[in-house]
Amino acid sequence: MAELLPVFTACSTCPIRHRAVCASCDAEELDALNGIKYYKTYSAGQNIALRGDALDMVASIVAGTASLERVTEDGRVQMVGLLLPSDFIGRPGRSGLQYDVMAASDVTLCCFHRKPFEEMLDNTPHLRERLLEMAMDELDAARDWMLLLGRKTAREKITSFIDLIVRRSYHPAEAKLDQPMKIELPISREAMANFLGLTIETVSRQITALKRDGLIQIEGKRSVTIPDIYDLRAETGDDEEDVG
């Protein structure tokens, strides 16, 4: 159930100020954005918008986790986007959605009506530049994800997912990779299965196996401690080469 989420009003104190679409905006540009933004919250499980809908806004995730999902005609579900704080929802220049947008947890969005945002885009080079950068980052992430979906084993999928959450949870600078790391899984087992192209039974079994092998420890259902992140990464199937 959604308890009331904190509502931010000043961009200067916004937790995603330096990572979101507004990251490279200067004070003046930020001011303009500030004038057209509004906040909206959704509770866990709600759908934010459905495939085919005309979405009259774009938005940044301020808090919580949303997912993008595609569904086959007979109801098989594949997650095609996992949106964490600072990620962007919506496509400027096109209102018709290609996939469902779901609130995987309670979610706070910083929204902009489509029209004024698109106009700002034309007058604010920094904004379009940042949007392009984010789109290309997402494309790179999508390609990693395709390797995972097409070629990795169930165990590799799970370890890759945990590593992904680790990477998004720690700023590269402040991460101590040689110490145990602790994360919260942002989504349920079912959502993990839909992310990874597995069933929830297989997700559960693989997590149990990783626990048995000492690669992870679990407290509750969502809290994971990784004693040695290098050991975990050795199981992801990824080439070691550090690209990026």
Partner DNA sequence: GCGACGAGTTGATTTAGATCAACGCGGACA
Partner DNA sequence: TGTCCGCGTTGATCTAAATCAACTCGTCGC
Which residue ranges make up the site for DNA (CB under 7 A)?
45, 153-155, 188-190, 197-205, 207-208, 218, 221-222
Please say whether the beta carbons of 224 and 217 come within 8 A: yes
Q: Which does 218 bind (CB under 5 to 8 A by kind): a second copy, DNA, none?
A: DNA
* Residue 49 engages a second copy in binding (rule: CB under 8 A): no
Nearer to a second copy, 2 or 49 (CB): 49
What is d(CA 113, CA 52) in angstroms, rounded to the nearest whole number?
A: 18
- Which positions from 10 to 29 touch a second copy by CB under 8 A, shown as an x/- string? --------------------
Please say whether the beta carbons of 45 and 103 come within 8 A: yes
Q: Which does 200 bind (CB under 5 to 8 A by kind): DNA, a second copy, none?
A: DNA
Q: Which does 172 bind (CB under 5 to 8 A by kind): a second copy, DNA, none?
A: none
Helix (H, G, I), strand (E, B) or coil at 81: strand
Nearer to a second copy, 148 or 207 (CB): 148
Closest contact distance (angstroms) between CB of 84 and a second copy is 17
Return the closest-CA partner of residue 58 out of 11, 114, 107, 132.
114
Looking from the CA of 162 toward its CB, the CA atoms found within 13 Å total: 32
* Residue 177 engages a second copy in binding (rule: CB under 8 A): no
Alpha-carbon torsion (226, 190, 54, 137), positive or negative: positive
Cβ of 177: how many Cβ atoms within 10 Å?
Answer: 12
Q: Which does 201 bind (CB under 5 to 8 A by kind): DNA, a second copy, none?
A: DNA
